[in-house]
Structure 1
């Protein structure tokens, strides 16, 4: 299957290039051409560029500078092909400034736009790699961007999610995770940040003095919904983040262990 994925595009592009080359050779029989070799290579370059645009245009369309840059490059390649026709070549010789702009200026502008677009695309991809796919929350990779210098670190863990997955299916379990993440996001204020750090584990960096209040607000938002959770809170700063993360995790685990007998009776 992987081989087919690699071969098929190559065969397709090669076929398109062959067809374009034959068309250009046929055209050269009726219209004077400045250089058949240049026409052949420039036509093939145009075919490759148009193929790349066709398979990527949906992905690059949101990045306008990249999108317009590729279109400008294609326009430049079309101009190069046309100027191999003697009639257009003679016209370009009579308009040297315009010809230089269309042949060289457009290339520079298109590459500048493409460079800006690729920069934005890479930045977006890097940011997406720091987001949890299911919930849209940040993941562990975003820990280096915590905004608060001092904060209360809250480590949350959902109770009984395994049982939900086993009895009702993982789709229902995912809905529980998403609903809980929404409650956390809706509770966060200002520079407070919410992270999903595991299957059913979440971390919140809350403003100093707001840890318990944050937990109470989450409980209020989930009132009437069967989404129990345990948590641990540690007051810390950016320098001692890892230590606080470990301590809050242990505090959360102690709460979870203390609640198990009660849950078993129920």
Structure 2
């Protein structure tokens, strides 16, 4: 797969510009092999408070450490993106709902257990909320991202520091 200039300068993860390329690739694989792929959407809980209390340099340190945790939490065929601000998106290739939930929960727990160092010996406790959606075969992948976003919203409003699976939408048959 051709790498575009799709890297986030702060975290070195992929950025949104590379997402359509990856999703198109995963959609083709999903259709060809009749295997689903998933979207995990992460949002750092109370991130604005980090920036407001400790400054943007501290916020940047948190973002870099968070990105490193996510990058270590995925399989070799998955893609991690900085989706915007304190939101991160993971595309999980060839995954079923239960496995997607396990990957999300492992990453969430690793974040919650990690000491986030922001300089001068200061360590912050950071948590994240996660929305999970499995692609339903529809050609518009934005529907899957929207479902992951709705699940993320549920996680946030359900108390934060949790993973929520999007209800399944009407499945479209995967065919070549």
Q: Flag whether TM exceeds 0.5 (same fold).
A: yes
* Structure possessing the higher relative contact order (Cα contacts under 8 Å, 6 or more residues apart): 2
Q: Does the 8 Å contact 1:158/1:230 carry over to 2? A: yes
SS in 2 for 1:197: strand
Aligned to 1:232: 131
What stretches of structure 2 of length at least 5 have no aligned partner? 31-35, 116-124, 161-176
Instruction: Label 1:178 to 1:238 Cα distance change in 2 as closer, same or farther (>3 A).
Output: farther
In structure 2, the residue matched to 1:193 is 79
Q: Which runs of 5 or more structure 1 residues have no equivalent in the other structure?
A: 1-122, 261-266
- Could you say which residue in structure 2 is the equivalent of 1:164? 50
Deviation string 1:18-57 (CA, Å, 9 cap, x unpaired) is xxxxxxxxxxxxxxxxxxxxxxxxxxxxxxxxxxxxxxxx
Q: Between Structure 1 and Structure 2, which shows a larger proportion of helix residues?
A: 1
TM-score (norm 1): 0.47
Q: How big is the shift at 1:238?
A: 7.7
Between Structure 1 and Structure 2, how many residues are aligned? 135
Following the alignment from structure 1 to structure 2, what is the Cα–Cα distance between the partners of residues 251 and 181? 21
Write the distance in 2 (CA, Å) between the matches of 1:138 and 1:203. 9
Relative distance call for 1:141 and 1:238 in structure 2 (3 A) is farther
Which is richer in strand? 2
User: Which residue of 1 is the match for residue 68 of structure 2?
Assistant: 182
* TM-score calculated relative to the size of structure 2: 0.69
Segments ≥4 residues shifted beyond 2 Å: 147-150, 219-222, 237-240
